[in-house]
Amino acid sequence: MIRNYIENANFEDTGFSYTMSLISGKHKMVILYCLMEFEIVRFNELKRYLGNVSDKTLSTNLKELESAHLVERKEYPQIPPKVEYSLSERGKSLMKILDQLCTWGEENRV
């Protein structure tokens, strides 16, 4: 079925290609998975979960996920500034797929 789908369409026009364009990169799926596990997370917490990632890289990834409507950003008007990130409803709908990737990885680890 997938082969026929790819053969009969331009690959860039496939749902697979669109989905990958939203979540591709070294950190995006990990960010989404952290938000699924911990629900509401602040920037520095995400940075700790991801390990060795620069502020700029994390900020860029979060902005891209936010512009794709997968992540919501809530800013509190206080000093010091407080910003929290969580999954949007659209982002939550992607979690079943990420969870299946985790299950497959656990079952097929060599």
Rounded to 5°, the CA angle 62-94-71 comes to 25
In-domain check, residue 90: yes
Q: Which pLDDT does position 57 carry in this prediction?
A: 92
In-domain check, residue 41: yes
In-domain check, residue 78: yes
34-56, pLDDT tens digit by residue? 999 898 999 989 999 888 889 99
CATH code where residue 36 lies? 1.10.10.10
In-domain check, residue 10: no
In-domain check, residue 77: yes
In-domain check, residue 44: yes
In-domain check, residue 3: no
Mean pLDDT rounded to a whole number for the chain: 86
In-domain check, residue 7: no
Q: How many domains does the chain have?
A: 1
Q: Label each residue of 34-55 as H, E or C.
A: HHHHHCCEEHHHHHHHHCCCCH
Q: Which pLDDT does position 12 carry in this prediction?
A: 72
Range of the domain at 100: 26-107
Per-residue pLDDT at 15 exceeds 70: yes
Residue matched to tokens 């206080």: 78
Per-residue pLDDT at 87 exceeds 90: yes
Per-residue pLDDT at 4 exceeds 90: no
- Give the predicted TM-score (pTM) of the model: 0.79
